[in-house]
Structure 1
Amino acid sequence: MTVPSVPQQRSVPGQEPAAATGWTPTRALGRAVLLTGLLLVAAVVLGRIDLIVLAAPFALGTAYALRRRPVALPQVWVEADDGHLVEGGELTGAVTVGNPDVVAYELVVLRTRVSPWLRIERVGFAGAGAAGGGSVADRPFVTSVPTASAIDLELSGSALRWGRHPVGPAGARVATAGGLLVSRAVITDPVRVRVYPKTEPFEAVEAMPRAAGLVGAHHSRRPGEGGELAGVRVFAPGDRLRRIDWRVSLRARQLHVAATLSDRDAEVVVLLDVLAEAGRSGGVSGAASVLDTTVRASAAIAEHYLHRGDRVSLLEYGPAARRLRPGAGRRQYLTVLEWLLDVRVEASPHEPYDQVFGPQLLSADALVVVLTPLLDERSAQMLARLARSGRFVVAVDTLPADLAPPKDRGWAEVAYRLWRLDRDTMIAQLREHGVPVVRWAGAGSLDQVLRDVARLATAPRVGGR
């Protein structure tokens, strides 16, 4: 194949530019020159012609091999599939080494690094077969490259976990001139493969606590223009003629209209607690850590409500103070997935930002879904403050249910049991403050909680004197 234009290569630190020290002699060349010189000196000193004849093949072979010296260094670049790759999906990529020189590369040693969350199962040069079994991308591969051509090292496997995972850096060293000259290592920068979180099945059939907009898929409890029938009543001034129920009107001999409930959209704020991490991630088919559950649950909740026409925004409760503005539609869903790829746990001894409680970020009618492991006392205080501010809050417990206690001897197990009791007490206190806490369990996780919150939203409130 023809060598395409490639990104700029970077050299190994501590070495000079390629034009000066791009190619170096090997030990084979040194041995050939040393042996030829020794034989010629011995022939002159001892006056033996047969030693000259013995040295001739070494001199002629070395001169013939060096008749055409390489000038350009090899070119290396990495390519990866930039499609919509989800956890567990198939990954394809390639590491390409090109030869822009007029001298063929007789031996090319190519090696690349791959993120441990990308399981490369098949590696092979194009048209030369493939090797299978396990992750085999971290071993060196050897090939030859003709002049003005390139060879692809094809990679195929699967993505084990969400995130931005590097493929590379990749490096290559070339030997030519019969193995007498070798190039310096040429290393190219890695490329990042975007792996989106796998959306867990989630359905919430309960009504929203309070709708904010005038259009949407949620049926409010207020009369208005919508698709949910509320009953039949007597015609009044201002009613539309298309709402007249003629069967009831003819039977009662008085005009009656069908009353409906208005359809409203809602704003959902997903608040991610990134102050602490627990558990060990095992990828898409293994155990889930707190961060895994948080990211996957956020994607599922956002997908559900955006599909229903609601507006969704995301916030981080942590020192980074990242925020995604509210939006609706498929574009917002893709933006949510991109935003979730950069979620990281950031512990901080300082109090996280207080702007999360401001009206400019959280409207009074928004449903706030807080994904938290409740490992930090500040997280419980944040939930209590949201509840006291009058907002509708649902806390989703993201701590792994199968979190194993420490196996150390001594007081470790007792301390773990005490911590569990203290955490249960914290959850009970939150529920007393009106904050429902539910463990994430996929489909139907929030139905009962949303039912209770909706009941509280419609209950009459006692006004102050």
Structure 2
Amino acid sequence: MAAAPGDAPDWVPTRALGRAVLLTGLFLVAGALLGRVDLVVLAAPFALGTAYALRRRPVRPPEIGIAVDDTNLVEGGALVAGIGVGNVDEVHYDLVLVRTVVSSWLRVDEVRFASGDAGPDGSAPADGPAPATGPAATAGSGDPGRAGRRDATDRPYGFTVPAGTIADLELRGGTLRWGRHSLGPAAVRAITCDGLLASQTVLTEAHPVPVYPVTEPFEADEAMPRAAGLVGGHRSRRPGEGGELAGVRIFGPGDRLRRIDWRVSLRARQLHVAAMLSDRDAEVVLLLDVLAEAGRSGGIRGSTSVLDTCVRAAAAIAEHYLHRGDRVSLLEYGPSARRLRPATGRRQYLTLLEWLLDVRVEQSPHEPYDQVFGPQLLSSNALVVVLTPLVDARSAAMLARLARSGRIVVAVDTLPPSALPPKRGQWTEVAHRLWRLDRDTTIGQLREHGVPVVAWAGAGSLDLVLRDVARLASAPRPGQR
């Protein structure tokens, strides 16, 4: 819980206390000067009432905290949060006003009020509001389908807090878009002593609310073009201890006895063993092009931007290959050149989701190729999946250089169909058509260079492309004389 900062007094007199003191003083002075007892009698209720209300004055300011029930939120999921106001004093709060700031990508549909007791030592817990107990009354509601509208937290809420208790405001709604959002800061001000004393405004810091991208369904049933690890779930062309039969050959030194094919050995009167193909894992590199942005993000239920498609597709592809035991790494093609080292398992998937929350579009006039692809950074056997809108000319040049270096490259087009320029002139539509034609020409040139370009469409987006790439990688290469 946060407390009011330092040097200012925690409680200040209100205008009601000033009026009571002023009226009492006026009646007493007028009665003394004019010699009228009735004026002194009129001043007595104001004096006695003020003294009775101030007989017990608060010592400590109110405390406030913010907490979120679920820390693993996904865009489009439910949001349940709470703002707790604690009264750790022995004086009843006649009125408490609470107001908070909510990120535009967090929707709050209703606010409910509940109260509970303070901690065993008479203080409010420091980690946020206590669980809501007792009946709860709905304080506000909103339309869950509209983003950027006026929600239930756009007005302050007032309630009373008895001494030694905690009052909770339960916020219920949903998340609209991935990213690092915040709930708060929240402010509280309490009024006590029958409205004669008011606390200074107490602020609490904003509570971070990370929202992970929704994982779109994705399946890639085709084999990996190149599998480079020692063990894994992909069939390799190299002999080893796998489950795929490669053929039968004569027994040699180092062969295991359990591999002996007795039928062939009895027929040929010489020991033969079954040769197997090794099962190997693959390394998948997801390269996110962050040089340009297009389209407008409308959240999980609205329109998508390039960044939305890029992040959601990266999460889906990474989850698929990590589930199969492959190694996945991420790179940003931009000025910052952020990277995530290749690894496997659920820990890598959670780290990857955290990494994706910080993806931002960064424009730069410089070519970031040498900065992104440092020496020995990109494995020659890795499958490089480039998520790019192909809006910047440097993106197409980067794809062509990767293809010429002999790596397996697949380009995923993340430009949404709804990305249209604003119609401000009569030539805007014509210019947009010309730009689309030029972009289609660039895509055709990339395909001629051996870079397949496919639009992201969820499940099965890369099946046909990976099948063709795997066939090309497994085809025999002509020898050089």
With normalisation by structure 2, the TM-score equals 0.89
Residues 321, 353 of structure 1: 8 Å contact kept = no
Counterpart in 2 of 1:387?
403
Please list the CA deviations of residues 3-23 of structure 1 after superposition, one character each: whole Å capped at 9, or x if unmatched. xxx3x4464xxxxx35x4322
Counterpart in 1 of 2:389?
373
Residue 408 of structure 1: how far off its partner (Å): 2.2
Alignment of 1:25-40 (within 5 A): 25-40=13-28
Residue 378 of structure 1: how far off its partner (Å): 1.1
Residue 402 of structure 1: how far off its partner (Å): 2.8
Residues 270, 371 of structure 1: 8 Å contact kept = yes
Counterpart in 2 of 1:147?
163
Residue 79 of structure 1: how far off its partner (Å): 1.0
1:89 counterpart = 2:77: yes
Counterpart in 1 of 2:128?
none
Secondary structure of 1:169 counterpart: strand
2:109 aligned partner, one-letter code = E
> What is the alpha-carbon distance in structure 1 between the residues aligned to residue 257 and residue 478 of structure 2?
40
1:200 counterpart = 2:216: yes
| Match among 317, 324, 330 for residue 301 of structure 1 | 317
> What is the alpha-carbon distance in structure 2 between the residues aligned to residue 99 and residue 381 of structure 1?
63
Residue 216 of structure 1: how far off its partner (Å): 0.7
Counterpart in 1 of 2:129?
none
Residues 165, 194 of structure 1: 8 Å contact kept = yes
Counterpart in 2 of 1:47?
35
2:441 aligned partner, one-letter code = T
> What is the alpha-carbon distance in structure 2 between the residues aligned to residue 361 and residue 156 of structure 1?
45
| Match among 7, 11, 36 for residue 23 of structure 1 | 11
Counterpart in 2 of 1:77?
65
> What is the alpha-carbon distance in structure 2 between the residues aligned to residue 67 and residue 384 of structure 1?
82
Secondary structure of 2:217 counterpart: coil
Secondary structure of 1:172 counterpart: strand
Please list the CA deviations of residues 239-282 of structure 1 after superposition, one character each: whole Å capped at 9, or x if unmatched. 32212334455566654433321111111110011111111222
1:286 counterpart = 2:302: yes
Residues 296, 419 of structure 2: 8 Å contact kept = no
Counterpart in 1 of 2:147?
none
Please list the CA deviations of residues 107-139 of structure 1 after superposition, one character each: whole Å capped at 9, or x if unmatched. 100111111212122311223322352131232
Residue 395 of structure 1: how far off its partner (Å): 0.6
> What is the alpha-carbon distance in structure 1 between the residues aligned to residue 197 and residue 156 of structure 2?
20
| Match among 375, 397, 418 for residue 413 of structure 2 | 397
> What is the alpha-carbon distance in structure 1 between the residues aligned to residue 422 and residue 72 of structure 2?
39
Residue 40 of structure 1: how far off its partner (Å): 2.3
Secondary structure of 1:125 counterpart: strand
Counterpart in 2 of 1:454?
470
1:56 counterpart = 2:41: no
Alignment of 1:261-410 (within 5 A): 261-352=277-368, 354-410=370-426
Which moved further from structure 2: 29-38 or 101-110?
29-38
Secondary structure of 1:157 counterpart: strand
Please list the CA deviations of residues 157-199 of structure 1 after superposition, one character each: whole Å capped at 9, or x if unmatched. 2222111211110110011111111111100001111211111
- Number of matched residues? 453
The runs of 5 or more residues in structure 2 that have no matched partner are: 115-133, 143-150
Counterpart in 2 of 1:14?
none
> What is the alpha-carbon distance in structure 1 between the residues aligned to residue 271 and residue 369 of structure 2?
59
The 3 A distance-change label for structure 1 pair 357 and 456 is farther
RMSD: 2.0
> What is the alpha-carbon distance in structure 1 between the residues aligned to residue 244 and residue 372 of structure 2?
35
